Structure 1
Amino acid sequence: MVDYLINYLGFSKEQASTVTSKVSHLKSTQKPKSIIDFFKKCDLDNTQIRKIVSCSPKLLTSHVDKTLRPKFRVFKELGLSGSILEKLIIESTITSCASLVSNVNCVRELLGTDEKLIKVIERSWWALTRLNLSDNLLVLQKYGSSNDKIQMLLIQMQKTFVFPFHDCVPHLYETYTNASADNQMTQLATSMICLKLFSVTKDV
């Protein structure tokens, strides 16, 4: 495997050894070769493939038809390429195709156009690979977040989507809307977050 990665992709011996140490159960180059050949057919060059394989060696154990091809179909339909495509391939390793499609469709429906969807992907590409993204978007809509505010959140505060919203957002919303005038610290703290999330406003 080490020699294969060196000769076929131009890895250094040290890099190839590092990659193979993480997929040591592979006894032949048959599956890695099928993965790499697939990447090349998708117009990824050796430099891009080296980066993908280095960041996510376990991709070499994937199944082309069951795992990679359906995901690439989603990416290609959106016209994604270059560094964004590389990052999505790496980050989507642990994301099922069904979850990826669900997230793409949910964001597309929310934003209305593929142009806006691609804008969000360019700024917040990794959010599409989060298992709870579509659920989080539905929670925000339920509690009154406008589409514009959700789009802004996806672009500017995308890391918040790492966490499931179904527990924290209802509590945050209730705290914000019910805070009394004598509880200024609570109001001010929650206001800073809620103004990012909700279409409601409140004097503090």
Structure 2
Amino acid sequence: MCSHLSSQLKRAIYTSFFSPPQYHYHFHYHRLLRSPLSTQTRPQELPFIADYLISSFGFSLDRALKASANSSLRAIKSSARPEAVVKFLTDTGLSHSQIKSVVSFRPALLGSNVDKTLKPKVREMMEVGIPGEVLVQLIRYNPGALALKDVPARLRFWRDFVGNNDKALLKIISVNTFLFNLRIDKHILPRLNLLKEYGLSNKDMVSLFEGRSCFCYHLDSISQILDLIEEMGISRGSGMFLYGLKAMANFCIGKIKSNAEFFKNTYGWSQEEVCAAFRKYPGVLQLSEENVRSKMNFLMSKAGFEARSIASKARLLRCSLEKVLIPRYTVLSTLQSKGLKKKCSLSNACLASERRFREIYVVPYEKDVPGLSETYAAAYGGKAPV
């Protein structure tokens, strides 16, 4: 993404953000955002803003009354200010459904002064070089950012962190919106320093934050996860350490250990075999019990594997049962039954790319086994993969 806006785009953003609010549109926006009225019995005298939240955004009576007690909302007696905020968010690029989501998450935003609070905040961000596209996405995914202090400083930090790569910044903002709300000095830097101690580079950390991460955990919890990865046999600084951390990023220690116990109790794996499987495929401890059972049952009953031997071939468990394991096993079985390929490694066949699999196991045998492609397609679900 280009880091500088064209003059036309800048002019369009400034025009929409900083032109005087058009209050005569408020009935238009009110109608566009109107949801069915709450069916709850209302008191005869409702605060104006409570009635507005119910009729315009579908709030329940209890939620509307609770929101109306907020100091920034309780003094509102007309729709002028909330409709000005709605228009501002619309001009910023949010859809009506997104605005409803924003208001549902943070109703107090409707009490903001567009000219004194929202526009200056956006202007401040633009003046430090934040592209309009990034601002739109930031507000869309994290409307609470408009209420944060030091927003420009936070944006500068994260832009520097991702090397001024706005595409990476947008991905982090959309996936891990909470990161932007954490204080740099108190929350972010201690976590970054801890990850550096375990050998993660800045590039590794950017990659980690582009997916949902454990970064919101308490520092001690993150440290426990990092230590557990080492205990499982992946040394810090190695190429696999990042993959191990990504695999555990959304799981608490208790869930990880519970998944490990499942393999021990159900399939007789030892602790060493669980660790070996984790080193082969860190995502093995992410899989649901149902997912594991279906694949293990197939590998044991159809492909002839022993339960404990699968630990050393754990990458098979990352393969789709319907799209990889069954159709490719069907092809290998067909070739073996015809005596055309006596030594067929299911692991090698299933871990190969689609193109490589067809080059090795399908194309060379189509003349000797008429209909082999059709057999593969039927096992895949009626249509051969491309």
TM-score range for the pair, normalised by the shorter chain length? 0.5 to 0.7
2:125 aligned residue: 39
CA distance in 2, matches of 1:102, 1:130: 11
1:82-117 residue CA offsets vs partner (Å, 9 max, x unmatched): 1221233452244333222222222223226xxx32
Deviation, structure 1 residue 193: 5.5
- For residue 197 of structure 2, what is the amino acid of its counterpart? E
Q: Is the 8 A contact 1:32 1:60 kept in 2?
A: yes
Match of 1:187, SS state, is coil
Q: State TM-score, norm by structure 1.
A: 0.64
Aligned pair 1:163/2:275, yes or no? no
Rg larger for: 2
CA distance in 1, matches of 2:212, 2:245: 8
Structure 2 residue ranges without an equivalent (≥5): 1-84, 283-307, 312-386
Match of 1:185 among 264, 267, 271: 267
Q: Is the 8 A contact 1:52 1:86 kept in 2?
A: yes
Select the structure with the greater relative contact order (CA < 8 A; seq sep ≥ 6).
Answer: 1
Q: State TM-score, norm by structure 2.
A: 0.38
Aligned pair 1:117/2:206, yes or no? no
1:122-142 residue CA offsets vs partner (Å, 9 max, x unmatched): 354245672227545532453
Match of 2:130, SS state, is coil
| Structural mapping, 1:1-204, within 5 Å | 1-5=85-89, 9=92, 11=93, 14=96, 17-18=99-100, 21=103, 22=106, 23-64=109-150, 69-70=153-154, 72-73=156-157, 75-77=159-161, 79-90=163-174, 91=177, 92-97=179-184, 98-111=186-199, 116-122=201-207, 124-126=209-211, 130-132=215-217, 134-143=219-228, 144=231, 145-147=234-236, 148=238, 149-155=240-246, 157=247, 160-165=248-253, 167-168=254-255, 185-187=267-269, 191=274, 194-195=278-279, 196=281
Deviation, structure 1 residue 49: 1.3
Structure 1 residue ranges without an equivalent (≥5): none
Deviation, structure 1 residue 32: 2.0
1:35-89 residue CA offsets vs partner (Å, 9 max, x unmatched): 312331342222221122112212111112xx65246325415524212212334
When the two structures are aligned, how many residues end up with a matched partner?
184
Q: Is the 8 A contact 1:137 1:150 kept in 2?
A: no
Determine what percentage of the aligned residue pairs are the same residue. Answer: 9
Q: Is the 8 A contact 1:2 1:17 kept in 2?
A: yes
Cα RMSD for the two superposed structures: 4.0
Q: Which has the higher helix share?
A: 1
Q: Is the 8 A contact 1:52 1:89 kept in 2?
A: yes
Q: Is the 8 A contact 1:48 1:86 kept in 2?
A: yes
Deviation, structure 1 residue 15: 7.1
Match of 1:162, SS state, is coil
Deviation, structure 1 residue 26: 1.9
